Amino acid sequence: MNQRITRISRSVTRLVADPAPALRFSVPLSATRRGARLARLLATEQLRSWGLPFDPARLIVAELAANAVLHGRVPGRSFRLVLAVTRPATLRIEVTDTRGDRLPVRAPGVGGALAESGRGLLLVGELADRWGVEEGPVPCKTVWAEVGFLPTAER
């Protein structure tokens, strides 16, 4: 079993035991627009090879990878995409970048004017069953999302 430290609030941290995933895919990618596009394409092919549905997972991967490139980029450093089936019928998507000092904001900015960007995590929140951020190891952060799917026998 793997163990993971999860920050619940600024003052509360807990150690969580994670069962080893049945299926796992992990790849480092360049923190460029091309790397973000490749993340989506590789995720789609990996889901296809596992016999899992592509949507909404590929949309979530596209958004999290784009955010890693736009907001988490450090020149010369890559980001990592991880796909894992962690529980029966649950896909966990993780994108880790090297800008742990820039955490995503869960709510859109206040002001009323429509911005050209900044709505992607709202999309992730609508498409995913759960999502969050894990800090560390320094200087990294991981933005994750979980999506339930029907087992092959029930599709």
Convert the pLDDT of each residue in 15-67 to its tens digit: 555 556 789 999 999 999 999 999 999 999 999 999 999 999 999 999 999 99
Q: What is the pLDDT of residue 151?
A: 63
User: Which residues, at least 6 apart from 37, have a Cβ–Cβ distance to it below 8 Å?
Assistant: none
Q: What is the pLDDT of residue 113?
A: 53
24 vs 149, more confident: 24
Convert the pLDDT of each residue in 131-141 to its tens digit: 999 998 899 99
Q: Which two tokens stand for residue 48?
A: 């296809």
User: Which residues, at least 6 apart from 103, have a Cβ–Cβ distance to it below 8 Å?
Assistant: 133, 135, 141
